[in-house]
Amino acid sequence: MDQLVPLTFAIPLLGAALSLIAVRRQRVQRVLNLTCLTATLGLAVALLVHVERGDQAAVAQVGAWPTDIGITYVLDRLSGLLLVIAFTTMLLVLVFAVGEKGRDEHSPYYHPAYLVLAAGIGAAFCAGDLFHLFVAFEILLMASYVLLTLHGQPGQVRSGTTYVIINSVESLVLLAAVGLVYAATGTLSLADLPDALAALDPGVRTGLQVLLLIAFGLKAAVFPLFFWLPDAYPTAPSPVTAVFAGLLTKVGVYCMIRTQTLLFPDQHRTLLLIVAGLTMIIGVLGAIAQTDMKRILSFHIVSQIGYMVMGLGIGGPAAVAATVFFLLHQIPIKTSLFMVEGVVESTEGTGALDRLSGLARRSGWLALLFALPALSLAGLPPFSGFVGKLGLITAGVDRGQYVLVVLALVGSLLTLVSMAKIWLGAFWGAPAVPGAAAAAAPVGLLRHRRTMGGATGMLVAVGLVLAIAAGPIYSYCERTADDLTTPGRYAAQVEADR
């Protein structure tokens, strides 16, 4: 069973290659893509169950080389959980993209690039050493560059250029950090690094940590490094933005969780706390200033990242458990909000709030699909966002981080305000003017876009399941956090398999 771990990204890569061969056959590509993602999702679920039952991470040594010189892939509780939610989301977004008539027909390279993106995400979650984490990042970044600029329209090229350059620089910073870590410790394996780093001079450790934080922080879009995101994301086609919003920044957060808990436990938490507070507040203030659905939602990505960094900054099992749960809930919630925006844009032709009005009267279902994740994003009970934020705030109060707790609460309130802004602008009121006769008739927006609506609905349902089953899922997150915050457990699990 353990040896199947590399298949989580080998299957999508193989699918991408086959999909490139079938470049002229749209239908074959679609079936191939759906099959590959379904198979990978099934595998991820099986591995997750295997890991949970055996209470032991699944470790694959490629070519049976020892950990310190070979390539190791590790699937522990955290990676397993994230793989399952990531592939679920990717699968539903794919259905959405196929349903958005003509979206994937524009370019025969949509499906291969999408599969490569899936492979990169899978590999990043399973990478057992820093260099392969870098390689996985490159795979997923390359695919994201292609997806972002696929149609080559002026707006996409303009914002894509910024995105590509910023992320290339990020890769170089990460690579330099990897080189320096190797120079300082002589190993890159995540299992060996904690001990090797602990033996270093504190100054050198701080330097390495800051370099890694800059690299992953750029990817995750935390406070001083988020400027590229609200510009780049909104220009992409809706399904692409949806999957980027849900997953790409979260891979950065995953890496921050991994390196912070494993390599630099309890080091420089104040820095993280400051970054977290500023990210939450500035992100949400940016969202309030915008007048376009996609741009508001893009700024929210930044704001929500702040909450996850907050958990890391507070430290301790309780806060890390809340962070993991929050990360888990953000992926489907954020993606489904962008999918609703995609439905609106594909039927109304715009996401600008001043041109939209009265969507709720024309399609109650769409309004419901927007309202549920929006309320969850704002953190109202009984939704999943509430559970995550409650965990974070309790942990913050326990540790006496009152300033940050207040900031988090203010941030939530402002999130609610900006969600209300979208609601008032797009969903409330009388139907919009253009084509007055057509607008006056109560046309179900979702009826035209049945597949898109269905996929969105299923993803919203996934978000609701997280709220309904919050008890067992949260206790799973607590076990994950226990693994993460116990020094030496990761190394022991990898070693045990050697």
Partner 1 sequence: MSIPMAALIGVLFAAGTYLMMHRTMTRIILGFAVLANAVNLLIITAGGPPGSPPVLGEDGVLADPVPQALVLTAIVIGFGIQAFLLALAWRNWTLDGNDEVEDDIADRRLAERAGLEETPEEAVEDVATEVDAGVQRRGDEQPQDEERR
Would you count residue 482 as binding partner 1 (CB under 8 A)? Answer: no
Shorter beta-carbon distance to partner 1: residue 131 or 428 = 131
Cα angle, residue 216 at apex, residues 110 and 210 outer, rounded to 5° = 160
Cβ-in-10-Å burial (0-12, 13-18, 19+) of 120 comes to buried
Query: Restricting to residues 58-117, which ones interact with partner 1 according to CB under 8 A?
Result: 69
Identify residue 10 by its one-letter amino acid code.
A
Binding test (CB under 8 A) with partner 1, winner from 175, 380, 390, 458? 175
Shorter beta-carbon distance to partner 1: residue 205 or 295 = 295
Q: How far apart are CA 221 and CA 319, in angstroms?
A: 21
Q: How many residues bind partner 1 (CB under 8 A)?
A: 44
Q: Measured from the CB of residue 352, what is the shortest distance to partner 1 in angstroms?
A: 5
Identify residue 325 by its one-letter amino acid code.
F
Residue written as token pair 């962070």? 323
Contact segment (CB under 8 A) with partner 1 among 348-356, 357-365, 391-399, 417-425 equals 348-356
Would you count residue 358 as binding partner 1 (CB under 8 A)? Answer: no
Binding test (CB under 8 A) with partner 1, winner from 1, 21, 49, 172? 172
Dmax over CA atoms of the chain, in Å, equals: 74
Number of other CB atoms surrounding residue 144 within 10 Å? 25
Exposure of 458 in the CB half-sphere (CA atoms within 13 A) = 15
Shorter beta-carbon distance to partner 1: residue 278 or 352 = 352
Cα angle, residue 254 at apex, residues 177 and 218 outer, rounded to 5° = 50
Would you count residue 17 as binding partner 1 (CB under 8 A)? Answer: no
Shorter beta-carbon distance to partner 1: residue 203 or 471 = 203
Q: How far apart are CA 302 and CA 130, in angstroms?
A: 25
Q: Measured from the CB of residue 276, what is the shortest distance to partner 1 in angstroms?
A: 25
Identify residue 357 by its one-letter amino acid code.
S
Instruction: Build a one-symbol-per-residue string for 223-262: x at contacts with partner 1 by CB under 8 A, - elsewhere.
Output: -------xx---x---------------------------
H-helix or E-strand containing 478? helix 470-485
Q: How far apart are CA 166 and CA 162, in angstroms?
A: 6
Identify residue 215 by its one-letter amino acid code.
A
Q: Measured from the CB of residue 127, what is the shortest distance to partner 1 in angstroms?
A: 13
Binding test (CB under 8 A) with partner 1, winner from 183, 424, 430, 468? 183
Shorter beta-carbon distance to partner 1: residue 69 or 437 = 69
H-helix or E-strand containing 22? none
Would you count residue 352 as binding partner 1 (CB under 8 A)? Answer: yes
Binding test (CB under 8 A) with partner 1, winner from 120, 277, 351, 425? 351
CA separation (Å) from 354 to 65, 123, 220, 349, 422? 60, 42, 30, 13, 10
Shorter beta-carbon distance to partner 1: residue 34 or 210 = 210
Query: Restricting to residues 258-297, which ones interact with partner 1 according to CB under 8 A?
Result: 290, 292, 295
Binding test (CB under 8 A) with partner 1, winner from 6, 10, 131, 428? 131
Binding test (CB under 8 A) with partner 1, winner from 49, 65, 182, 402? 182
CA separation (Å) from 294 to 39, 229, 334, 473? 31, 12, 11, 30
Name the DSSP class of 427.
Answer: I
Q: Measured from the CB of residue 182, what is the shortest distance to partner 1 in angstroms?
A: 5
Would you count residue 418 as binding partner 1 (CB under 8 A)? Answer: no
Binding test (CB under 8 A) with partner 1, winner from 18, 95, 178, 407? 178
Query: Restricting to residues 134-153, which ones interact with partner 1 according to CB under 8 A?
Result: 134-135, 138, 142, 145-146, 149, 152-153
Q: How far apart are CA 420 and CA 371, in angstroms?
A: 10
Burial annotation 469-479 (CB, 10 A radius, 16+ → b, else e): ebeebbebbbe
- Report how far apart the first and last C-alpha atoms of the chain are (Å, whole number): 15
Shorter beta-carbon distance to partner 1: residue 138 or 478 = 138
Q: Measured from the CB of residue 346, what is the shortest distance to partner 1 in angstroms?
A: 13
Tokens of 237: 């086609």
Contact segment (CB under 8 A) with partner 1 among 26-34, 175-183, 315-323, 454-462 equals 175-183
Q: Measured from the CB of residue 348, what is the shortest distance to partner 1 in angstroms?
A: 10
Number of other CB atoms surrounding residue 24 within 10 Å? 8
Would you count residue 20 as binding partner 1 (CB under 8 A)? Answer: no
Residue 60 dihedral angles phi and psi, to the nearest 5°: -120, 120
Instruction: Build a one-symbol-per-residue string for 186-215: x at contacts with partner 1 by CB under 8 A, - elsewhere.
Output: x-x---------------------------
Tokens of 49: 């169950």
Q: Measured from the CB of residue 96, what is the shortest distance to partner 1 in angstroms?
A: 20
Q: How far apart are CA 231 and CA 218, in angstroms?
A: 14
Binding test (CB under 8 A) with partner 1, winner from 278, 317, 355, 371? 355
Cis peptide before 382 (omega within 30 of 0): yes
Q: Measured from the CB of residue 398, what is the shortest distance to partner 1 in angstroms?
A: 40
Burial annotation 76-87 (CB, 10 A radius, 16+ → b, else e): bbbbbbbbbbbb
Residues that bind partner 1 in the complex, under the rule CB under 8 A: 69, 131, 134-135, 138, 142, 145-146, 149, 152-155, 157-162, 164-165, 168-169, 171-172, 175-176, 178-180, 182-183, 186, 188, 230-231, 235, 290, 292, 295, 350-352, 355
